[in-house]
Structure 1
Amino acid sequence: MSKILKKAASLVFADESVKPLMRIRRKDRPAKPLTERQLIQMESQIGATIFGDKPEHVQRREFFNLDKKTWIWYEEVVGADGKVKELTTKYEIQEKGVLKVQPNYQYSYLEGEELHNFVLAVKEYYERVSRKLYKQDPDTGKPLQVV
């Protein structure tokens, strides 16, 4: 892991218990006849479940890790007028913190409860994706034992 990513991870993750989660890399994924995009789509479906059931007005929801420094939250919502509205929020892990980028040039660093919730979502993402998709123990990266 690069020094910058380690620094960013230390800013995002306060405790040491998540360091093993950061060891999961795309090249460690089991060999499957799937493209990287297909894997990301599968991860995003798992990531979307972290936030519970979709409200009735939400048609589609995705949450995924695009690369080492980028997380994406995407939602399609049906407005009161019946039109579908899309919202994509990008979270960039930087030395200074986690930058939230939204449409119309809205930029802000996560703070307080929003930062805490993002960290919890990332931890849960790694836990679920490791276990459900890659069949790996999220703490060690070793294959799960089939019981």
Structure 2
Amino acid sequence: MTKFLKKVRSLVFADDSDAVSLLKFRKKDRPLKKFTERELIQLESEIGATIFGEKPAYVARREFFNLDKDTWIWYEEVADGKGGRQELTTRYEVQSKGILKIQLNYRYSYLEGDELQNFVLATKEYYERVSRTIV
């Protein structure tokens, strides 16, 4: 163990036996799995969908994920009551002017007020949950 880690251990832990057991990483305890980019996006979208609570009975599927550093996606598939399904995909683009909300057949608009606040809170919660779950 390096001198630096010994110093950290002595500052954090009162008993060396606890520190040694916690600082040791054994591959057999938690092997790291390599994911493809698509698999990571899928996992993250499933985690992101849970941020908004239980989905109502009429919602067949929902996803929320960060596509790249400037793009967020919200997707929802809803039963229309006639046996069919309606899909709505909303893309949020982070720009220097603000967060641009883009939906097919709707006017593009920048987020404001409560909608902006909710988006910011959702993205923070997303990062927290993804970083805790996918390691």
Which TM-score band (shorter chain)?
0.7 to 0.9
Which structure 2 segments of 5+ residues have no match? 1-31
Percentage identity across paired residues of the two chains: 70
> For residue 85 of structure 1, what is the aligned residue in structure 2?
86
> For residue 26 of structure 1, what is the aligned residue in structure 2?
none
> For residue 37 of structure 1, what is the aligned residue in structure 2?
38
TM-score with structure 2 setting the length: 0.75
Opposite residue 102 of structure 2, the aligned amino acid is V
Cα offset for 1:82? 2.0
Cα offset for 1:105? 4.6
> For residue 3 of structure 2, what is the aligned residue in structure 1?
none
Q: Deviations over 1:14-69 (max 9, x none)?
A: xxxxxxxxxxxxxxxxx633210110100000000000000000000000000000
Matches of 2:81 and 2:107 in 1, distance apart? 24
Cα offset for 1:81? 1.7
> For residue 99 of structure 1, what is the aligned residue in structure 2?
100
Greater Rg by CA: 2
Q: Deviations over 1:105-138 (max 9, x none)?
A: 520000000000000000000000000112xxxx
Cα offset for 1:80? 2.0
Opposite residue 116 of structure 2, the aligned amino acid is L
> For residue 57 of structure 2, what is the aligned residue in structure 1?
56
SS of equivalent residue, structure 1 residue 43? helix
Opposite residue 64 of structure 1, the aligned amino acid is F
SS of equivalent residue, structure 2 residue 108? strand
TM-score with structure 1 setting the length: 0.69
Opposite residue 117 of structure 1, the aligned amino acid is N
> For residue 76 of structure 2, what is the aligned residue in structure 1?
75
* 4+ aligned runs moved over 3 Å, structure 1: none
Which gives a bigger RCO, structure 1 or 2 (Cα 8 Å, sep 6+)?
1
